[in-house]
Amino acid sequence: MSSIGDIIDEWLRGVLINGIMNNVSNTFDSVNRQVGQIATEVGRTPANFSPAIYNMIRNISENVIMPIAGIILTFIACYELIQLVISHNNLANFESWIFFKWTFKTFVAVYIVSNTMNITMAVFDVAQHVVSRSGGIIAGSTAIDASALRTIQATLEATQTGSLFAIFLQSFIVQFLIYVLSVLIFVIVYARMIEIYLMVSLAPIPFATFGNREQSMMGQNYLRSLFALGFQGFLIMVCVGIYAVLIQTVSFTSDIIASLWGVMGYTVLLVFTLFKTGSVAKSILHAH
């Protein structure tokens, strides 16, 4: 006949094992859900991400920023004409073709400014196509399968009560830290999209500088920055793919704690690399 102490010990072991299994399952469910959300969110264009925000940004850009861009464009067009005249010895060596050149450049500049939103959205359409294509190649799940759960439970059932209590505490800590890291991942992904909206809202101003070679450096750098933001989504997908492969290499053997902290370490690495994707994309495209 079992003593009261054995009954209590058996009950406590059951509670601890169930708690550990719940912590492990919740940890991997949180990670897998967050990784799946990353793959979904970075594949959206600004117009698809939040149509309400996009319409607001477009209205601000066209009604508030566009008139300022028109003034800048007018100033640059006048400056460009003066430069063309001066470059030919103050009309001493007059050639009529310079006015055709100035007219053509001004027409192109006006056309670019008038279609600013279409051009910026085209950049993100290209980036979205790349991200979507990469999503079909970079595939991976961080979910834990049933066989791994059975292995973990069998290992826990053969563990002493004191060790189970230590494992429960550490699994709870890892679960909490994973939730914190999930919040950071959410912030990184959504901050990128907000940065895109901010960049798009001021797009007419740098686009208005394309009428002059000297001033066009602003517009060229702006375009590079747009492409960097767009292709940052591709780098994020690569990071997620690497993370999924690393998580799949974690084997839950007798040392469950080491495996859990290994998952924790890989998640910290994911967050760090996601933070770096923006600077890496700008460095590759030489955007400031």
Contacts of 184 (CB under 8 A, 6+ apart): 271
CA Rg value for the chain: 29
Share of the chain above pLDDT 70, in %: 85
Do residues 39 and 237 make contact, with C-beta atoms less than 8 angstroms apart? Answer: yes
In a domain, 275, yes or no: yes
**The predicted structure's pLDDT at residue 198:** 92
Segment 53-101, tens digit of pLDDT: 999 999 999 899 999 999 998 888 888 877 777 766 655 666 667 778 7
In a domain, 187, yes or no: yes
In a domain, 84, yes or no: no
In a domain, 48, yes or no: yes
Average pLDDT, the chain: 80
What's the domain count of the chain? Answer: 1
pTM here is 0.80
**The predicted structure's pLDDT at residue 253:** 63
Give dist(CA 100, CA 98) in Å, integer: 5
Share of the chain above pLDDT 90, in %: 13
Give dist(CA 211, CA 213) in Å, integer: 7
**The predicted structure's pLDDT at residue 142:** 56
Do residues 212 and 74 make contact, with C-beta atoms less than 8 angstroms apart? Answer: no
Segment 176-218, tens digit of pLDDT: 888 888 888 888 888 989 999 999 999 999 998 887 777 888 8
pLDDT of 30 > 80? The answer is: no
Q: What is the pLDDT averaged over residues 5-23? A: 75
**The predicted structure's pLDDT at residue 1:** 43
Range of the domain at 155: 4-65+115-284
Locate 13 and state its tokens: 């072991």
Confidence of residue 11 (pLDDT cuts 50, 70, 90): confident
Confidence of residue 143 (pLDDT cuts 50, 70, 90): low
Confidence of residue 38 (pLDDT cuts 50, 70, 90): confident
List the single range of 48-52, 57-61, 96-100, 231-235 with lowest mean pLDDT: 96-100
**The predicted structure's pLDDT at residue 93:** 63
> End-to-end distance of the chain based on CA atoms, in angstroms?
77
In a domain, 280, yes or no: yes
Q: What is the pLDDT averaged over residues 9-22? A: 76
* pLDDT, greater one: 110 or 23: 110
**The predicted structure's pLDDT at residue 24:** 75
* pLDDT, greater one: 263 or 74: 74
* pLDDT, greater one: 1 or 166: 166
Q: What is the pLDDT averaged over residues 37-60? A: 85
